[in-house]
Structure 1
Amino acid sequence: MNILVTGGTGFIGRWVVGRLLKDGQKVWVLDNLANSSLENVNEFMDNENLQMVKIMDLKDRESLKELFRDTKFDLCYHLAASINVQDSIDDPETTFNNDTVATFYLLEECRKQHVKIVFMSTCMVYARASEEHGIDEQSPIKPASPYAGAKIAAENMVLSYFFAYGLPVVVVRPFNTYGPFQRTGGEGGVVAIFIHNKLKGEPLNIYGDGTQSRDLLYVEDCADFVVEAGYNDQLKGEIVNAGTGEDISINHLAELIADEQVPIHHIPHIHPQSEIQKLLCNFQKAEKTLFWTPKVTIEEGIKQTEKWIQSTFHRKDRFKS
């Protein structure tokens, strides 16, 4: 198939691209590089099925129209987004434009050619997890940040194109994804930040009391889920979750990563109003419809992520010398 991946040089995007190339698909990548680097897809550059890596902002409607005029796509994975919660609180307009308006522009091009679209949403749209069953696709949503609000707005636009135009669409809501190629600063991801700090001999800083919990999904498992959602024909016009079905408190995660090698500190929360106390995924729908289950344990995932972050230190050292 001819497949377009927006945000394809990003953390999850580059793993989705890798899986698609492995499957023998012809892949086009779009990214504005706001949250990523071309280095993330270096290993794929010689792959004959990688058709294009184009630096482009989806809000550039003329360039987007030109791309769709030049190529007939079979499938689009829309992963491009502003993903920083604090940035969305400080500057909601940018997040709304990147996550909602740009999605509308892409939907319009997909509608004209009847291109199936898989829209990457987030578990941050949900309210607190049910203690018993975890969060499923029917669980209540809560736009606790402009990031979550923009994603919900985009989700609704995507689903409306299924009901109004019969456009095949799927909304995917992966839970907290971590692994190699995730950014290690800012809001890059708690696992990556903790590991990075430990390797530098710095304290692990926990916002709040650390009792908040997360369902941590390894990035290769996430990419497999996203790709399978595009291949599958049963989920048109639907939302589907992916996670591990197990949550871990931030305190326990910090202890696991620190391994008594660095101190753990608790500091005041920078955006307590947008914190979700408990995130626990119920992924039965993905298991039933996509035959997908996560394969990588948290212990193995942390090990692989630490190995990768350590290798980035070595690369920087070689560059300096």
Structure 2
Amino acid sequence: MNILLTGGAGFIGRWVAKKILQEGHKLWILDDLSNGREENIVEFLSHPNLRGFIKGTILDEELLSGLFEKQHFELCYHLGASINVQDSIDDPRTTFNNDTVGTFYIMEQCREHNTKVVFMSTCMVYDHCTDETGIAESHPTKPASPYAGAKVAAENMVLSYYYAYGLPTVVIRPFNTYGPFQKTGGEGGVVAIFINNHLNGQNLHIYGEGTQTRDLLYVEDCARFVVAAGFSDAVNGEIVNAGLGRDIAINDLALLITGDPSRVKHVEHIHPQSEIQKLLCNSSKAKGLLKWQPEVTLEEGIARTLAWIQAGGLQ
């Protein structure tokens, strides 16, 4: 297949790229490197099936038009997005343009060329969970940040192309994903930041009380899920979750990583209004429709991530 992957130089994107290339498909990656890094995909640049790495933005309609016209993509994994909650609060326009308007431009090209779309959304669109069976796709949404709001808007547009035009589309909502190649600085995920601080002898800072929970999905499990959604007709027109099915309080996560309570410090939350107190995924739909389930435990995933950061990672 000819496949376009937007955001392919990002953390999750590079693992999706690796999986697609392993399966023998011809791949083009489009990324403006505002969040992704070319170092993430340097090992793929000489791969015979990576037919192009294009540094460009999904907001460039002329660029998109030329790409789709020339390459005849059969499948588009759309991962390119602004993903930082605080950035979306500080500058909602940029997030809306990238996540909603940019998605519209992608959808228009896919409609014209009859290209299936796998749209990467987020668990941050959900209201908090009180049920120990976890959050299923029918759970109420609550866009508590402009990031979540932009994603909800884009989700609805993606699904509208399925209903209005019969275009095969699927919305995927992976839960908090972590693993090798995630940034260890301020823009990174909590696991990578905690491990990096632990290895450097620094304190682990937790926003708020630390009782908020997260369902942490190892990145290779996430990439298997993302790729599978593109090759299944069973999920067309659907919203599908993926998570570990186990949540952990941030306080407990910090102790799991450092083992030293004296190094765990609590700081004032930067966006308490957008915090989701409990995130626990119910992935039964993905298991039923895609035969997907996570394979890497939290402890094993943390060990793999720690080993990668210890070995030098990407700073």
TM bin, normalised by shorter chain, reads: over 0.9
Residue 42 (structure 1) aligns with: 42
Deviation for aligned residue 1:260? 2.1
Deviation for aligned residue 1:44? 1.1
Residue 319 (structure 1) aligns with: none
CA contact (8 A) 1:201 1:262 kept: no
Q: 1:216-264, CA deviations, whole angstroms, 9 ceiling, x for partnerless residues?
A: 0000000000000001011111100000111000000000001228710
Residue 199 (structure 2) aligns with: 199
TM-score (norm 2): 0.98
Report SS of the residue matched to 1:312.
coil
Residue 153 (structure 2) aligns with: 153
CA contact (8 A) 1:116 1:167 kept: yes
Separation of aligned partners in 2, 1:307 and 1:115: 39
Tell me how many residue pairs correspond in the alignment. 315
Residue 23 (structure 2) aligns with: 23
Separation of aligned partners in 2, 1:257 and 1:233: 40
Residue 175 (structure 2) aligns with: 175
Separation of aligned partners in 2, 1:175 and 1:294: 12
Residue 260 (structure 2) aligns with: 260
Does the alignment pair 1:9 with 2:25? Answer: no
CA contact (8 A) 2:75 2:230 kept: yes
Separation of aligned partners in 1, 2:48 and 2:262: 45
Separation of aligned partners in 1, 2:262 and 2:158: 45
Separation of aligned partners in 1, 2:291 and 2:276: 29
Q: What is the letter of the counterpart of residue 195 of structure 1?
A: I
CA contact (8 A) 1:198 1:261 kept: no
TM-score (norm 1): 0.96
Residue 238 (structure 1) aligns with: 238
Report SS of the residue matched to 2:144.
coil
Matched-pair identity in %: 63
Separation of aligned partners in 1, 2:280 and 2:253: 15
- Unaligned 5+ runs, structure 2: none
Residue 99 (structure 1) aligns with: 99
Separation of aligned partners in 2, 1:45 and 1:59: 24
- Unaligned 5+ runs, structure 1: 317-321
Separation of aligned partners in 1, 2:84 and 2:172: 18
Q: What is the letter of the counterpart of residue 74 of structure 2?
A: D
Deviation for aligned residue 1:141? 0.1
CA contact (8 A) 1:204 1:262 kept: no
CA contact (8 A) 2:123 2:175 kept: yes
Separation of aligned partners in 1, 2:264 and 2:132: 30
Separation of aligned partners in 2, 1:283 and 1:180: 23
Q: What is the letter of the counterpart of residue 204 of structure 1?
A: L
Report SS of the residue matched to 2:196.
helix
CA contact (8 A) 1:28 1:51 kept: yes
CA contact (8 A) 1:203 1:265 kept: yes
